[in-house]
Structure 1
Amino acid sequence: MEFEIRAVRPEEWPAVKELRLTALQDPAAPLAFLETYEQALARPDVFWQMRAAGASHGKAARQFVAVGGDGAWLGTVVVLVEEAGAEDIFGHVVEVRQAQLVGVFVRPVARGSGITEALFSAAVEWALGIDGVTRVRLHVHEDNGRAARFYQRFGFVRTGGAVRNPGDPSKVDHEMVFRPATTG
């Protein structure tokens, strides 16, 4: 499958919106995302415009997309840079400057094609290129085994940290941190 990985562009906000709404209709969405389709659908266009603009440049966030040879958006991952002393997406104070991967989605037709690996490679490389960022993490729902297995294959390991899932406080999201394989 032919594709390119790149950052979103501000004027592409309609595609950012469409891909997010599609992701929120995926059967795994309740395990993977902190918002519902209905919540996202209710957001005004200015929200999507600001989201695309904010994730297209700068060093606070970046949204990467996989674009097929025909121009169709096949997948995405968002990187949020978390400043030490600030709150993360769960409301917990961050102890070190780090990056968090969120909003991971690949359309079913493109799964197994290498797109997820390419998106993660771009996201991790960009995050670790930001001054002061030495840690890349993510959270995975305890029942999202498919995602957890991919994250482990890519080089993420559980830290032992976990947070209550905001959508279902009887469940937890496990923290995982990127630990690249060492050679030698």
Structure 2
Amino acid sequence: MEHLIRRVRADEWQQVKELRLAALQDPAAPIAFLETYEQALDRPDPFWQGRAEGAAAGDSIAQLIAEGPDGRWDGTVTVMVEPAGSGGAFADAAAVDQTHVVGVFVRPEARGTGLADALFTAAVEWSFELAEPRIQRVRLFVHERNARAEGLYRKVGFERTGHTVPMEGARSDENEIEMAVPRPAR
């Protein structure tokens, strides 16, 4: 299956919404995402328009998608820049300039085809190609019980860092495990 891996465009907010809603219906969604299907469904169109617009341009966030020959979006990954000293997505102060991968999803029928590998390759390349800040590592967090996702992340080069954070709210007895890939030495 041939897919084009590319950045979303600002006018594609309806496709951004549709793919997010599909992701939130996946059986792994309760441990993979910090949002429920119902919460996302209730968001007004301007929210989705802003989300697509913000991820379409600039050097602070990028949403990458895998578009099939028929135009269907079969996967996505979002990358957010976390400059050194900033509060990251999990409220820790970034020690180095880094990016944070979130919103990883590949439709079930496209899994096992190499699509996730291609999305991660593009996300890591985007991160390390940024001129400013010069990214030192790409990180993500995975729920301690999400072995399928952790296996994928290991396959594409991420390793556990030893840092964990507790889940918020009702699942505070569960943890998210940080994984990262460092900038390659040159």
Q: In which range does the TM-score fall when normalised by the shorter chain?
A: over 0.9
In the superposition, relative to structure 1, how do residues 172 and 92 fare at CA in structure 2: closer, same or farther (>3 Å)?
Answer: same
Provide the rounded CA distance (Å) in 2 between the counterparts of 1:181 and 1:158. Answer: 17
Q: Are residues 1:90 and 2:86 paired?
A: no
TM-score normalised by structure 2 residue count: 0.94
Question: Tell me, which stretches of 5 or more residues in structure 1 are unaligned?
Answer: none
Question: Tell me, which stretches of 5 or more residues in structure 2 are unaligned?
Answer: none
Q: Which residue of 1 aligns with 2:120?
A: 120
Letter in 1 for 2:161: T
Instruction: Give the CA deviation at 1:86.
Output: 1.7
Contact 2:100 2:139 in 1 (8 A): yes
State the identity as a percent: 54
Q: Are residues 1:162 and 2:164 paired?
A: yes
Q: Are residues 1:37 and 2:41 paired?
A: no
Letter in 2 for 1:156: F
Q: Which residue of 1 aligns with 2:179?
A: 176
Q: Which residue of 2 aligns with 1:58?
A: 58
Deviations 1:104-131 (A, max 9, x none): 0000010011100000000000001113
SS of the residue 2:85 aligns to: coil
Provide the rounded CA distance (Å) in 2 between the counterparts of 1:59 and 1:147. Answer: 26
Letter in 2 for 1:31: I
Instruction: Between 12-21 and 38-47, report the one with greater CA deviation.
Output: 38-47
SS of the residue 1:138 aligns to: strand
In the superposition, relative to structure 1, how do residues 88 and 180 fare at CA in structure 2: closer, same or farther (>3 Å)?
Answer: closer
Instruction: Between 39-48 and 59-68, report the one with greater CA deviation.
Output: 39-48
Provide the rounded CA distance (Å) in 2 between the counterparts of 1:39 and 1:117. Answer: 29
Deviations 1:75-104 (A, max 9, x none): 000000012222122222222210011000
Instruction: Give the CA deviation at 1:133.
Output: 0.8
SS of the residue 2:179 aligns to: strand
Q: Are residues 1:153 and 2:121 paired?
A: no
Q: Which residue of 1 aligns with 2:75?
A: 75
TM-score normalised by structure 1 residue count: 0.95
RMSD of aligned residue pairs (Cα, Å): 1.4
SS of the residue 1:170 aligns to: coil
The 5 A counterparts of 1:18-29 are 18-29=18-29
Provide the rounded CA distance (Å) in 2 between the counterparts of 1:180 and 1:141. Answer: 24
Contact 1:62 1:79 in 2 (8 A): yes
Deviations 1:3-48 (A, max 9, x none): 1100000000000001001100100001110111111111111111
Q: Which residue of 2 aligns with 1:99?
A: 99
Q: Are residues 1:140 and 2:168 paired?
A: no
Provide the rounded CA distance (Å) in 1 between the counterparts of 2:141 and 2:92. Answer: 13
Letter in 1 for 2:41: L
SS of the residue 2:56 aligns to: coil
